[in-house]
Amino acid sequence: MNASLAPAHSPFGGSVATRVLRCPASVGLVEKVPVHLRRSSAYAERGTALHSAVALLFDDNGPSLESLVGRTIGDYAITHGDVENSLRPVFTHITALLDAPGTEFYLEHRVGFPTIPGAYGTADLLIRIGNTIHVVDLKFGAGVRVTALTPDGDEDVINAQLLFYAAAARHSLREFFAGVETVVLTILQPMSIEADAEMVSSVEVGHAELDGFIAIYRTACEEALSEFPRLARGHWCRFCAARPICPAHTGPLLDLAQFVGPAPAGPNFSILAPPPAKEAYLQLLTGEERECTRPRALMGRNRAVVFPGARHLPKRRADR
């Protein structure tokens, strides 16, 4: 993992990409919440510990799975259940991927998003097998099922966090991506509140999809820093730190967002480079699908697949 002087969390980072796209006003509101009120929960501490445990398992001379029971990482002690129900299935799946000949990979790697200063995140796992890159995100929570594609009406929306990591990794690891034709976005969630939920969900995208996402995400970040960003509540509010002061939730009682807090230290967009792939994005807007690599759901479905927060795009069908 790269050493970095940047803060641990970016206001435009991958883990908040869906929220930024859906509710750009949340960026400024979160900045108004005192840091001590943004403390992580016990669930988050468990997730962080299990992510670290996976990185340890793939170290040279890393520990055995069994030896992790009882080990404390951060403030969390790993349990037998964590090993058997979460770490072992993830370890088995990743090991099978890494067993392919000629595989190269990065674990827990910091990547920076193009065209947006201060937008970065840590990709859990990046694997190159031949001309295909696998971008894998690990989800150890069980309360909310997260998938690479989320059904929304008659469409499936691609997970924004995965798109963020893929676009940022392509920007940060140019040699690693050289000659790559296909990017497979995958979420591994070994436990879920939903009975019989599959652990693995994936969607395949090409370079045009990543270019399109860069343009869309940059627009959302610009709006977040504008005078009147859009405020919109929805499922993305669940983990938003601004919820206690958000007028969309407290509005009928009290507009706590009017309290004056420190100004957000966001990036200065006046120094941004122009989007690198505007032509590719415009092709999407004009429906020139034959020029683009289509996202292909790897779940055996045949539904329209769209970018998050991009309902204005013409509907696009997933390949069978």
∠ CA 81-107-66, rounded to 5°: 30
Distances (CA, A) of 206 to 106, 134, 209, 212, 288: 20, 12, 6, 10, 15
- Regarding 299 and contact with ligand SF4 (CB under 6 A), the answer is no
The 243-282 site mask, x for binding ligand SF4 (CB under 6 A), equals: x--x-xx---------------------------------
Count residues binding ligand SF4 (CB under 6 A).
16
Rounded to a whole number of angstroms, the minimum distance from the CB of residue 21 to ligand SF4 is 10
- Regarding 230 and contact with ligand SF4 (CB under 6 A), the answer is no
CB 307 within 8 A of CB 219: no
Rounded to a whole number of angstroms, the minimum distance from the CB of residue 274 to ligand SF4 is 28
- Regarding 296 and contact with ligand SF4 (CB under 6 A), the answer is no
Rounded to a whole number of angstroms, the minimum distance from the CB of residue 1 to ligand SF4 is 29
CA gap 129, 25 in Å, rounded = 39
Nearer Cβ to ligand SF4, position 16 or 187?
Answer: 16
- Regarding 26 and contact with ligand SF4 (CB under 6 A), the answer is yes
Distances (CA, A) of 161 to 74, 139, 263, 303: 24, 12, 26, 21
CB 73 within 8 A of CB 98: no
Q: Which stretch binds ligand SF4 (CB under 6 A): 25-33, 121-129, 180-188, 207-215?
A: 25-33
Nearer Cβ to ligand SF4, position 1 or 254?
Answer: 254
- How is residue 272 written in tokens? 């941004």
Nearer Cβ to ligand SF4, position 54 or 240?
Answer: 240
CA gap 12, 95 in Å, rounded = 31
DSSP 71-130: -EETTEEPPHHHIIIIIHHHHHHHHHHHTSTT-EEEEEEEEE-TT-TT-EEEEEEEEEET
Rounded to a whole number of angstroms, the minimum distance from the CB of residue 193 to ligand SF4 is 22
Site for ligand SF4, residues 231 to 250, rule: CB under 6 A = 231-233, 236-237, 240, 242-243, 246, 248-249
- Regarding 12 and contact with ligand SF4 (CB under 6 A), the answer is no
The 92-131 site mask, x for binding ligand SF4 (CB under 6 A), equals: ----------------------------------------
- Regarding 23 and contact with ligand SF4 (CB under 6 A), the answer is yes
DSSP 141-175: -SSS---SEEEETTEEEEPHHHHHHHHHHHHH-HH
Nearer Cβ to ligand SF4, position 15 or 52?
Answer: 15
List, in order, residues 6 or more apart from 241 with CB less than 8 Å away: 30, 33, 37, 38
- Regarding 225 and contact with ligand SF4 (CB under 6 A), the answer is no
Q: Sign of the CA dihedral 291, 111, 44, 266? A: negative
CA gap 96, 318 in Å, rounded = 27
Return the residue of 16, 17, 21, 25 that touches ligand SF4, per CB under 6 A: 25
Which residues would be at the binding site for ligand SF4 (CB under 6 A)?
A: 19, 23, 25-26, 29, 231-233, 236-237, 240, 242-243, 246, 248-249
